[in-house]
Amino acid sequence: MDSQPRRPFLTGVIGEPIGHSLSPLIHAHWLQQHQIVGHYVPLEVTRSDLAAVVNLLPRMGFRGVNITIPHKESVLKICDSVSDQAALIGAVNTLTILDGEKIHGHNTDAYGIIQSLKTESQVEGTWKAEDGPILVLGAGGAAKAVVFGLISDGAKEIHIVNRTREKAELIKKEYGTRISVHSRPALEHLVSKMQTIINTTSLGMEGKQSLPFPYDELVAKTVVLDLVYAPLWTELLREAKKRDCTVINGLGMLLHQAALSFKHWFNILPTVDVSLREAVLSK
Ligand code: NAP
């Protein structure tokens, strides 16, 4: 008797809304590149349905899923276990199903940001978090992953500016003296002293206000990274480019965090290459 054909591997992304997500395109590219028969399914799930849907994933045959806005924090308490990194960041963006039944949470955003900085700063291979002071704008979920990544890579001096100062103070409480918290007017004298500046706020996104920033204080060669990827080239990056800064958009982080998720599911770290970037940019 013929043996049963192997079922395609199932992965996906859970969020609300999910229609805009680039993840299905990114993962389909790697599934095809590695000749893995499988599907990556976008799943629009409301807050009230999250626990029920996540708990069904093992029985539905999923190998794992990504978790995106607005569920990255609330999914923590649904997991059977989480990585130390996800627990410290307080957010999960990748689930893997262990032994066909247990739900394990990871966070791959911190890896994504550091890989993006290391591979895309013009001095490729030489950017290190420990090399100079870093300014982080924002203190939301993405900022927590960014600060974790920077501290793990050896950052000695991180300055945080956020509209809601208390949220920045909470991050400082976690990491101590390597973090300083400032209010917005301090930007005027901080910006020129930074090795790297990272915008983790949603300001500058399509449909949002622009980021208030003292552009004339920017010094040439400063590395400026904006997590926003819609649009790809924000006002912050355009102004920084005019002043000869090294500019990096949010696409690299998006691709690298996805690569580590793929590795969690298939034990293959796929490459973030030009053909993938072109496929995403042409969407
Ligand atoms: P979040 O938790 O909601 O945090 C939003 C941040 O933006 C907070 O610091 C918030 O300040 C600030 N903010 C929002 N509106 C503001 C306003 N009108 N004035 C001043 N500050 C404002 O969101 P998140 O998950 O951290 O995501 C933040 C951004 O990062 C989004 O654009 C997201 O698309 C992007 N992101 C990109 C990647 C990637 O792979 N490239 C990954 C993750 C996130 P308060 O604390 O004062 O509210």
β-partners of residue 198 are 136, 225
* Ligand 1: centre distance to CA 142 (Å): 7
Distances in Å between the Cα of 59 and the Cα atoms of 52, 56, 102, 263 are 12, 5, 11, 22
All CATH 3.40.50.720 domain ranges in the chain, comma separated: 111-252
Instruction: Report residue 261's pLDDT band, with 50, 70 and 90 as the boundaries.
Output: very high
Tell whether ligand 1 has an atom less than 6 A from the beta carbon of residue 140: yes
Distances in Å between the Cα of 159 and the Cα atoms of 113, 114, 162, 179, 236 are 17, 17, 10, 6, 18
CATH 1.10.10.10, domain 9-107, yes or no: no
Long-range CB contact pairs, 212-219, < 8 A, 24+: 212/184, 213/137, 213/187, 213/239, 214/187, 214/188, 215/239, 215/240, 215/243, 217/187, 217/188, 217/189, 217/191, 217/192, 218/191, 218/192, 218/243, 218/245, 219/191, 219/192, 219/243, 219/245
Nearest CA to ligand 1 atom 19: 163
* Ligand 1: centre distance to CA 77 (Å): 22
Question: 153-194: per-residue pLDDT in tens?
Answer: 999 999 999 999 999 999 999 999 999 999 999 999 999 999
All CATH 3.40.50.10860 domain ranges in the chain, comma separated: 9-107
- Read off the pTM: 0.94
Tell whether ligand 1 has an atom less than 6 A from the beta carbon of residue 139: yes
Tell whether ligand 1 has an atom less than 6 A from the beta carbon of residue 163: yes
Q: What pLDDT score was predicted for residue 5?
A: 64
Find the radius of gyration of the CA atoms of the chain: 19
φ/ψ of residue 152, rounded to 5: -65, -30
72 annotated active-site? yes
Interatomic CA distance for residues 69 and 67, integer angstroms:
7
In the set 72, 118, 173, 241, the catalytic residue is 72
The CATH number, out of the four listed (3.30.465.10, 3.30.360.10, 3.40.50.720, 3.40.109.10), of the domain defined by the range 111-252: 3.40.50.720
The residue whose two tokens read 């028969």 is 37
The percent of residues in the chain predicted with pLDDT above 70, rounded, is 97
